Amino acid sequence: MQEAPKALSDEGIVVENNDKALKFIEDVTINADEVQKLVLSEILSRSADTEYLRRNGLNGCTDRGTFKKVMPVITYEDLKPDIERIANGDTSPILCSHPISEFLTSSGTSAGERKLMPTIDEELERRSLLYSLLMPVMNQFVPGLDKGKGMYFLFVKSEAKTPGGLVARPVLTSYYKSSYFKNKPNDPYTNYTSPDETILCLDSYQSMYSQLLCGLCQNEEVVRVGAVFASGFIRAIHFLEKHWGLLCKDIQSGTIDSKITDPSVREAVSKILKPNPKIADFVEAECSNGSWKGIITRLWPNTKYIDVIVTGTMSQYIPALDYYSNSLPLVCTMYASSECYFGINLDPLCKPSEVSYTLIPTMAYFEFLPVTRENELTGSISEPTALNDEEKQLVDLVDVELGQEYELVVTTYAGLYRYQVGDILRVSGFKNNAPQFNFICRKNVVLSIDSDKTDEVELQNAVKNAANQLVQFEASLVEYTSYADTSGTPGHYVLYWELSVNDANSIPPSVFENCCFTVEESLHSVYRQGRVSDKSIGPLEIRVVENGTFDMLMDFALTQGASINQYKTPRCVTYAPIIELLNSRVISSYFSQKCPRWSPGHKQWCTQN
């Protein structure tokens, strides 16, 4: 009798899946242009009858030439009327032939509210495909990852409903609640210390506590740790600093603290938590020894790397991560957004400053708008400016030039056409025919602590609202700048104010405290959510500086080569010598005494929780 073919062992399946994923990357990067052409024609042919494409006169064409000739390059503001119709319940095919399944709420804002990105069911499959490429790539560089667990701090955020009844929530909340995450295949790479119930718990204290508890009691098994962004991982470490005593008590006794009230979390944790005095004593000894240097490698001794995004504004957390981990490799695996998931890092052990992302050509149709940026003399993040009209030709994925900076423009399966994402990327190399990009910055963003992205205009308006309160004291704001201070827990916005005032003592401290509060109230909802719900941003601070400070700042910039004709006060500073100069001139400082108002969803919607 013929022998039945042998089923592959677990290890065999992993090898086979890894090979498949790497072959996929190889194929789509070799055939990048052909894949992009197909993606565009697929998107355009299935959405040929949508109102948006008809309105712009595409007339069913699916070729690149016609698309580029007739379709405008747009921003969210251009799309807002259409998005509002969908949010209000218009289910006709406005942007996409497939039904919009929900809105993904971006951390980018418009008129103070999160932008709403339409999505369709099948996008989950595309996102999950990108995730499935990460471990096969990682496995080429770090062996043994299939032999242990990942301790990842992952969280969901609250969701709201649009007036038309569509759910609006962040992209990761949508993903973690989907069957793609909950029913993920039981393979060695999806072996996490956090049970799904702890991730899906909306209460951020209970979620963080239970995830840390599970991570600590399985400490020997952990081979990699992470969170999405560096800020989230640092928050977990700070939480541990504050609550290790309670956590040790739970590990000692094998019972869960009574503050954890969510029954599904209690049940899931109780399957993992057993009385373990040995681990409890070990954690207590490490956490109470006075120094938190290397705490990650001490508590989780088999950790090989930290998986967190430290590119873009998150680079401000690299020194803290190095300190807590005794400089374990920091691995940035992917680049993604609510609009679309873009690409992955094929050289994950490279230095954070060298991280480049390879855009995966099947995810969307990508175009690139060349940009130039002003010199970053003062350390402020300068605004990129698009080139003039002739140069404003968008370039295709395979036509970008090494070293050139571009703004990313996407056409997605979910109904965005030539949409400017707002990210500035620089071409750093190529994988076969697909370019690789350094993430340079988010256009216009000056301040960011966590996922908040505050631009110059928002800051200016908020400061103006606050400074109005000085008028009654015959005082006015002469100059200001800002700084994202991440040295404390949590980080907070600092504003440096130089005033024109007859008698500085005539203004009571409560007025400045109110100014701090007014700035916070005037900022966008992602900032206020960070302050109120996530507690990832601390109270805003105003530091009043001596008269003449901003002249000194200008003098400093001139000594560094700035032109006096072109000098503008930077509205945000990041360069250490300038921050030192400002700090050396502080007369008094004030903090916001209240939390600003925030509720899930846009102001005008009723919310559900």
If the CB atoms of residues 169 and 543 are measured against ligand AMP, the closer one turns out to be 169
If the CB atoms of residues 132 and 218 are measured against ligand AMP, the closer one turns out to be 132
Do 107 and 169 touch, CB atoms closer than 8 A?
Answer: no
What is the token pair recorded at 487?
């040295």
If the CB atoms of residues 17 and 444 are measured against ligand AMP, the closer one turns out to be 444
Least spacing, CB of residue 83 vs ligand AMP, in Å: 14
Least spacing, CB of residue 312 vs ligand AMP, in Å: 3
Least spacing, CB of residue 518 vs ligand AMP, in Å: 26
Least spacing, CB of residue 344 vs ligand AMP, in Å: 10
* Pairing between β-strand 160-161 and β-strand 167-169 as defined by DSSP bridges: antiparallel
If the CB atoms of residues 228 and 287 are measured against ligand AMP, the closer one turns out to be 228
The single-letter DSSP state of residue 74 is B
Which residue ranges make up the site for ligand AMP (CB under 6 A)? 106-108, 171, 309, 311-312, 332, 335-338, 421, 423, 439, 442, 451
Do 483 and 541 touch, CB atoms closer than 8 A?
Answer: no
Nearest to 181 by CA among 117, 132, 116, 120: 132
Least spacing, CB of residue 470 vs ligand AMP, in Å: 35
Least spacing, CB of residue 343 vs ligand AMP, in Å: 9
If the CB atoms of residues 295 and 321 are measured against ligand AMP, the closer one turns out to be 321
The H-or-E segment that residue 372 falls in is strand 365-373
Least spacing, CB of residue 349 vs ligand AMP, in Å: 16
Residue with tokens 């950790």: 303
What is the distance in angstroms between the CA of the first residue and the CA of the last residue of the chain? Answer: 61
If the CB atoms of residues 141 and 556 are measured against ligand AMP, the closer one turns out to be 141
Whole-number Å distance between alpha carbons of 64 and 56: 15
What is the token pair recorded at 42?
């697929």
Torsion of CA 13, 16, 18, 20, to 10 degrees: -140
Residue 169, CA distances (Å) to 99, 115, 149, 222, 266 in order: 17, 11, 29, 31, 25
Do 303 and 220 touch, CB atoms closer than 8 A?
Answer: no
If the CB atoms of residues 85 and 157 are measured against ligand AMP, the closer one turns out to be 157
Q: What angle do CA 5, 6, 9 make, to 5 degrees?
A: 150
If the CB atoms of residues 138 and 553 are measured against ligand AMP, the closer one turns out to be 138
Nearest to 569 by CA among 479, 447, 461: 479
Least spacing, CB of residue 222 vs ligand AMP, in Å: 23
